[in-house]
Structure 1
Amino acid sequence: MEQYSGVRSSSNTTRGPARSSPAEAALQDALDALGDPIRRRIVREFAAEPGWSRACGGFGHLPVAESTLSHHFAVLRGAGLLEQREQGARRLNRLRGPEFEARFPGLLTLVLREEGS
């Protein structure tokens, strides 16, 4: 039996964002994630930049509240579209394009070809 040491675990503060591999993503989750025009815009913006070059805070120009933007990022991560890593106080992102395209051939290509909405 483990003894209580009186020190609280910091696992909640050090745990990173929930992640999902594209290989584990369900089609419905992918469709739900890409069904929202703001999320499609986020995906297109990430596709236009090299991976790991943009932080979550770089999307202040979108017409949504910060809490809503956080939700959009969570949905995109859950569907396997985005991967995040912590760098200091920032969370950098990359689009998991090749992995997602392998799981759902053509779906991401359609989104990236879509004119801004």
Structure 2
Amino acid sequence: MSDTESQPESEKFDVFLAHNSADKPEVRAIANQLKAREIKVWLDEEQIPPGRSFQDEIQKAIPLVQSAAIFIGLKGLGKWQTMEVRSLTRMCVEKHIPLIPVLLPGVSQFPEKLVFLKEYIRV
């Protein structure tokens, strides 16, 4: 299977779910609620085929999304999530698509280092 076969270029997603793997259970529950409302989510565990580079698959997915949700849990951003946030913030500015910070239960404010995310209305 070639790289282009793993995910059709024309496939669009309503929202990319950027999260720390430590927050996977909460994010998975939210993804299921969104799907129940017929919102097409990009969630790594559902979209990245076995044996594929998750970095490559994420890079291919980011241009295909209509919005991005950045989940912030009690453990803050994960290493790869930090890279996703950088790419998604740039894309959201360039393409004028929504960037939605999501504070998970127990988190009442943004970490100080996330200056750019503070500009967006959070949920």
Interval of TM-score (by shorter of Structure 1 and Structure 2): 0.3 to 0.5
Give the number of the structure with larger relative contact order, counting CA–CA contacts within 8 Å between residues 6 or more apart: 1
Relative to the length of structure 2, the TM-score reads 0.31
Which protein shows a greater Rg?
Answer: 1
Relative to the length of structure 1, the TM-score reads 0.32
